[in-house]
Amino acid sequence: MENSFVGLINFLSKNKMENKVWDYKSKKKDALQKLVKEKGIDIVMTKPTMAKYLIDRITWKPGELVCDPCKGNGAFYDNLPDYVIKSSFEINEGRDYLGEERMGVNTTISNPPFVPRKLFWNFMVRAMETTTDRIFWLINISSLNVLTKNRLNEMGNRLWFIQNLHIVSDKRWFGRYCMMELGRTDKGFISHRDDTSF
């Protein structure tokens, strides 16, 4: 199978950006690849107005340690309140969230890569390892498919539970998106059958 993100990878390379996160094999006809080629890399970045709206829905504590593991254009990072202690990772700036560097924080918030789905799960695992209180992911609703019963059980074993899904939309993006909130208390928001499939 041919690498269908050749255009994006070329764009990133030409602009002296790393392509590690985006280097994956995909379908020959990939709608996201076409969109990025036509409209530029910013098409996959969160609009600052959306990030501010989502951040304003959250109660923040002074001195809270907050990490944006996929800083991108800074939509979340730049809109965090001044009274929190912020940190970020961005592979295109040489800081890979999935790399060796680890950092403990109270809250993680970002729009992580969710293609391929396994990559989103890798971000989820790292956040569960490094975050103490809550995690917020802006994801495409189809990203929920990564949450198999085994992975939901793994999350529960690590005492991480989905608390809320807040639906948002951006006309540039395909499908519906949501801000998924994870916390340490099982509120019964998501349940599943542990037995074998039907």
Domain ranges in the chain are 45-138
pLDDT band of residue 193 (cuts 50, 70, 90) is confident
Per-residue DSSP letter, 189: S
Per residue in 20-58, pLDDT (tens digit) is 444 444 445 555 555 555 545 554 568 889 899 999 999
Q: Under DSSP, is residue 7 helix (H, G, I), strand (E, B) or coil?
A: helix
Cis peptide before 116 (omega within 30 of 0): yes
Phi, psi of 93 (to 5 degrees): -110, 10
Q: Under DSSP, is residue 33 helix (H, G, I), strand (E, B) or coil?
A: helix
Phi, psi of 127 (to 5 degrees): -65, -40
The single-letter code of the amino acid at 100 is E
End-to-end Cα distance, the chain: 33
Of 57, 56, 105, 49, residue with least CA distance to 73: 49
Of 25, 8, 124, residue with least CA distance to 69: 124
Per residue in 76-133, pLDDT (tens digit) is 999 999 999 999 999 888 999 999 888 899 999 999 987 677 888 999 999 999 999 9
pTM of structure: 0.78
* Helices (H), ranges, the chain: 6-14, 31-39, 48-56, 117-130, 149-157
Sheet holding 85-88: strands in order across?
85-88, 65-68, 105-110, 131-140, 177-183, 161-168
Fold of 45-138: Rossmann fold (3.40.50)
